[in-house]
Amino acid sequence: MSDIKPKFCLKKALPLGLTAILAATASSVLTVNLMQPMDDQQEALVLDRQAVKTIVRETVAEEVSTQSVTNVNITQTTEGQEKEILDRQTVQLIIRETLAEEPEILIKSVENLRKTHLKKQAEKEKEQISQVQEMLEKTSAPWAGSDSKDAVTINYFSDYNCGYCKKQAKVFSDLLSKTDNIKVVYNPFPIFGQASEKAAAATMMAWQKGPAQFLQVHNALISHEGRITDDVVTKALSDVDIDALGANFSGAENAVRANQALGKMLKLEGTPALLINNKLYRGFMDANALTEAIGSVKS
C-alpha cells in the first residue's frame, strides 16, 4: 500500500475501525467450537494442550471465521489410553497462555481481518460506483472537452471553496488545451456551507444559458483568490447577464442537491474526487497521475 496521502479538502474526519477489528478478533477466539457432545456409544476425542494451541493458531491467525478447524490431528481414544479431560476453564487458560507466548497471532488476525474488510469494502464500492455511473450518464451536467464516443469521460466532484479543487481545475484546463480525447463532466459537490452551495447553483444556472456562459462563471469562481462570498457569485453571474435571484435559481439548487446525493452514494468525504471509467480517485491528481489514469482506460 502506498504511503502517499491523498490531497483533498475534508468535510469530516474518517473513523478508525481498530476497536471493532479487535472486538471481532477477540470474539472469534472465544467462540471456537472445541468439543462436541457425545453419547455413550461415541468414542471420545483427545484434546491435549498442544492440540488446543494449534486450534487457536489456525483459527485466529490463518482466518477469522466460525468454520471448524480440520487440520488438527486429534486422535480418538483407544482401550487402555489415558483420557485428558479439558474443561472450559482449562481451555480458556490454554488460549490465554498461547496468545501470551505468541502475541503475533493476534497481529496476524487483525491484518487478515483488515484485508477481508478492505476486500468487501472494495466490492461494495465497485457496485455503488457502477450504479452512480449509470445515474450520471442520465443527467445533463455541465461538461467541457470532446463529446466523441472514444473520449474518456471524467466526472469531477468539486467545491468552489476547496483549495485543492482550484489546483485540480488548473490541471484540467491545461489538459483540455492539449488533448481532444477527454470529456470533463462537472458535478458540483459543495461541502463548505451556503456560500459553496450558492456558487455551485450559479454554475448550473450558467449552464442552462450555454456552455460558454458556464465556463466563464466556472473560471471566475474557481480562480477567485480567497473565500467565495455571495457578492462574488452575484458578480460572476451578472457578467453573463444572469440574475442571481432569477426564477432558474431554484432549479439549479435541485440539480446541486442531486449531485450531493450521488456523492453521498460514493461516500465522498472530501473534494476533489474524480470518477474515471468506473474507478474512483479521491483527492488531487497532478498532470502525470491524471494522464496515467486516462491512459489505463485506453489500454
Domain CATH for 238: 3.40.30.10
Are 94 and 209 contained in the same domain? no
How confident is the model over 94-114, as pLDDT tens digits? 888 888 888 888 888 888 888
Residues in the chain with pLDDT values less than 70? 1-6, 8, 10-49, 55-86, 245-247, 299
**Residue 20 counted as domain residue:** no
Task: Supply the pLDDT for residue 105.
Answer: 82
Burial class (CB in 10 A: 0-12, 13-18, 19+), 151: middle
Are 164 and 285 contained in the same domain? yes
Distance of alpha carbon 49 from alpha carbon 72, whole angstroms = 12
**Residue 121 counted as domain residue:** no
Task: Supply the pLDDT for residue 243.
Answer: 83
Task: Supply the pLDDT for residue 164.
Answer: 96
Which among 6, 20, 4, 21 has a CA at the least distance from the CA of 115?
21
Distance of alpha carbon 276 from alpha carbon 295, whole angstroms = 11
CB distance 135 to 262 below 8 Å:
yes
Q: Cell match 477481508: residue?
A: 116
End residue of a domain, out of 83, 102, 121: 102
**Residue 189 counted as domain residue:** yes
Task: Supply the pLDDT for residue 272.
Answer: 97
CB distance 143 to 203 below 8 Å:
no
Task: Give pTM, 2 decimals.
Answer: 0.65
Are 94 and 211 contained in the same domain? no
Distance of alpha carbon 210 from alpha carbon 199, whole angstroms = 17
Number of Cβ within 10 Å of residue 112's Cβ equals 18
End residue of a domain, out of 80, 102, 124: 102
The secondary element (H helix, E strand) that includes residue 9 is strand 9-10
Distance of alpha carbon 292 from alpha carbon 82, whole angstroms = 68
Are 154 and 250 contained in the same domain? yes
Are 84 and 164 contained in the same domain? no
Residues 6+ apart with CB under 8 A from 44: 38, 76, 77, 83
Are 285 and 178 contained in the same domain? yes
- Residue 62 is given by DSSP the state I
- Residue 155 is given by DSSP the state E
Are 277 and 139 contained in the same domain? yes
Task: Supply the pLDDT for residue 48.
Answer: 66
CB distance 274 to 169 below 8 Å:
no
Are 211 and 293 contained in the same domain? yes
Are 209 and 280 contained in the same domain? yes
| All cell numbers assigned to 113 | 481481518
**Residue 230 counted as domain residue:** yes
**Residue 115 counted as domain residue:** no
Q: Which domain holds residue 212?
A: 134-298
The crossing angle, in degrees rounded to 10, of helices 88-101 and 49-56 is 60
Sign of the C-alpha dihedral computed for residues 258, 262, 265 and 271 taken in this order: negative
Are 142 and 240 contained in the same domain? yes
Q: How many domains does the chain have?
A: 2
